[in-house]
Amino acid sequence: MSDRRAAELVAAHEQERPARQLSGKLRLGVWIVGGLLSVYSLVVVFRPVESLQHRMTFLAVALPLVFLCYRSGFRLGRRPAAEEGPPGAVGGAVAEAAGKPLAADTAGAPQAAGAGPEPRTAATAGRAPEPAAARRADRPTVADWALAALALAVCVYPLLDFQAFRDRGSGAALTDLDIAAGVLLTVLLLEAVRRTVGWSLVVICAVFLVYAYFGGYLPIDWTIGHRGFDLEQIVSQLYTGTEGFFGVPLQVAASYIILFTIYGAVLDLSGASKFFIDLSFAAFRRSRSAPGRTVTTAGFLLGTVSGSGVATTVSLGSVAWPVLRRAGYPKESAGGILAAGGIGAILSPPTLGAAAFIIAEYLKVGYLQVLLYATIPTILYYLGIFLAIEIDSRRFHTHAVQVDAPKVGRLLLRFGYHFSSLILIIVLMAMDRSAFQSVVIATAVAFLLSFLDPEHRMTPGRVGEALARGTLEVLPVTAVCAAAGIIVGVITQTGLGLNLSAIIVGVAQGNLLLTTLMAAIAVMVLGLAVPVTASFIIAAVIIGPALTTLGVTQAEAYMFIFYYAVLSEVSPPTALSAVAAAAITGGNTYKTMMMTWRYTLPAFLVPFAFVLTPNGQALLFQGPLVTVAVMALVSCVAVAALALATGGFTGWPERALAAVAAVLLLFLDTTPIVAGLAVLALAAAVHLIRRRRTSA
């Protein structure tokens, strides 16, 4: 698959919109500004700035870049986008500004003989040659420059006399200029969100703003009614403190996320992506289930350098689909494996997704604690995929494929150092280093170790590219996080969160199971319309209180919401990762979605276990170690039963019994566990009897 095709697939199926293909001096300028913001973010880790000032400064640079780097979508007097050249990421385009190519993330990956895709070259990652006229047509318009200038002005304005501005927000009356700047920033953020992720979140934010202003006109006996707030009060809530635009979500983008995107860029540019794919192919190259396991393992490893399920799916597909095809996998099954491996990239430690950082901030715990929460669910997720792949390899009679890959030992000896920075992050956080300092130190180590590979050493051009990508890749998240502050601010100001949670609990009549089912459906539906980060934030402040009211701990509630927010990317009817995988394999889209759902089924059911069951907290690594170990083992058996129930390799009686056994085991209590093991043993006995009769 060509690089242009890969970029088009990501642009078509990713929730984030494609960025402009900037060129010339403008590209260089954006590259420099983005790099400087990354440097500022790195310096702040060791020389902290007052929190609100830091968030305002970060947004003052990031928001103008959004208007320069992302198209408005309006083509007044301009040619259609199809004539302007293919969509692509600014991060992939700014390399030319420095005179240096991007590091290939899959270049040289092992391929099945005669069946591999076009190798992705560093210089062409995410872009294709364009005519000069097309490049000129993709330059920012006068309106874009004006919006960028306004964004800079309204974000810098509070910093000109910061203490006086804070005092006015803490109780004194706002000036007319304060109100005008706050209203203008609201409009600019909504436009930035529209450009980067589309209309859905804009509409949701607008509904909350209307509710804040006109909610006082609702009947007094309505649960969601409130006393009403005027324009000055709303602006004060959103603009002058840390309850609105400059709240926790933006803090996460300005501290955690940008540091991890810089780290991911350094790993990518130093050759780690190529090593991870090489290692995956080398580790599983002999057995008939090796191609499927290779894709899944590569997806897990690539998750350290990609925060997008769709992007990881496409990166995997460009290399792995020819191998899966030669192994005998049907198009839909191969697409399901690709999508499941891609989405696993943002469900897995040590980087997880942006929402995981927000969990750490909301719970006031270290990021290492969130990694512990995710450890057992991640193991169960990948166990389910591997077992399903083993079953499918027999059902589809797949076979081993000879791939051109170095031996595992040689790869580890030569390039195994790429794992060291990942391990170092965990070690440093275990030694009570902050997540910020840990990732910066790990980034420095990855930089130094790059000089062990002359082909991928971090030259000045690559360093500049990594810094630029660190900022440019976080721009859509920044817009979403700042705009999500509107929702959080309105909910806090009006008390809507508690009111809605009371409604949810009332509809469910206090039943935890029904409340949890409603929560799962609501989060998945919300995730179909808005990005994972936004859907988590909205659900956390609205649905989270409903769960905690019924006795669920905050950690369990937030992790439940996190998993279902992420799983919206593989949930019908949209299932973005599955649709992208189907586009690569040419398989039926609906069948690919259903195969993806089957591979990811444990991730849908396990969250119910740690919310509903008496020992469910053990799956989040909470409680005595013996209990944690036993419940993890029982859950592994339940996942195995699920794989048997959905695999289609055995007859329907065994599958029905295995499904019952899985449900009983996931109750994680003594009596259901014993009953589940008995039913599973019965399923095995039935299978053996039927098999002997068939053989006879």
Say yes or no to pLDDT of 11 above 70.
no
pTM higher than 0.85 for the full model? no
Q: What is the pLDDT of residue 136?
A: 52
CA distances from 659 to 16, 361, 639 (A): 37, 38, 10
Per-residue model confidence as pLDDT tens digits over 261-308: 999 899 989 998 888 888 887 876 667 777 888 888 888 888 766 656
- Name the token pair of 239: 């603009």
The tens digit of pLDDT for each residue in 123-178 reads 333 344 444 544 555 789 999 999 999 999 999 999 999 989 988 887 678 999 99
Torsion of CA 479, 483, 488, 492, to 10 degrees: 140
Phi then psi dihedrals of residue 219, to 5 deg: -55, 140
**What's the helix, strand, coil split of the chain in %, to 5?**
75, 0, 25
**383-406: average pLDDT:** 83
Cis peptide before 350 (omega within 30 of 0): yes
Q: Which of 318, 315, 326 is nearest to 291 (CA)?
A: 326
In this prediction, residues 208-229 reach a mean pLDDT of: 88
- Structure token pair of residue 312: 């990881």
Q: pLDDT tens for residues 64-108?
A: 999 999 998 775 444 444 334 333 344 333 333 333 333 333 333
Question: What SS3 class is residue 424?
Answer: helix
Give the number of other CB atoms < 10 A from CB of residue 640: 19
Contact by Cβ (8 Å): 234, 54: no
Which of helix, strand or coil describes residue 337?
helix
pLDDT one-digit tens code per residue, 15-58: 566 788 888 899 999 999 999 999 999 999 999 999 999 999 99
For residue range 531-583, what is the model confidence (pLDDT) as tens digits?
Answer: 888 889 999 999 999 999 999 999 999 999 999 988 887 777 767 788 888 88
Confidence of residue 6 (pLDDT cuts 50, 70, 90): low
Element (H, E) at 109: none
pLDDT band at 121 (very low <50, low <70, confident <90, very high): very low
d(CA 348, CA 325): 27
Q: Looking up tokens 């956390």, which residue turns up?
A: 540
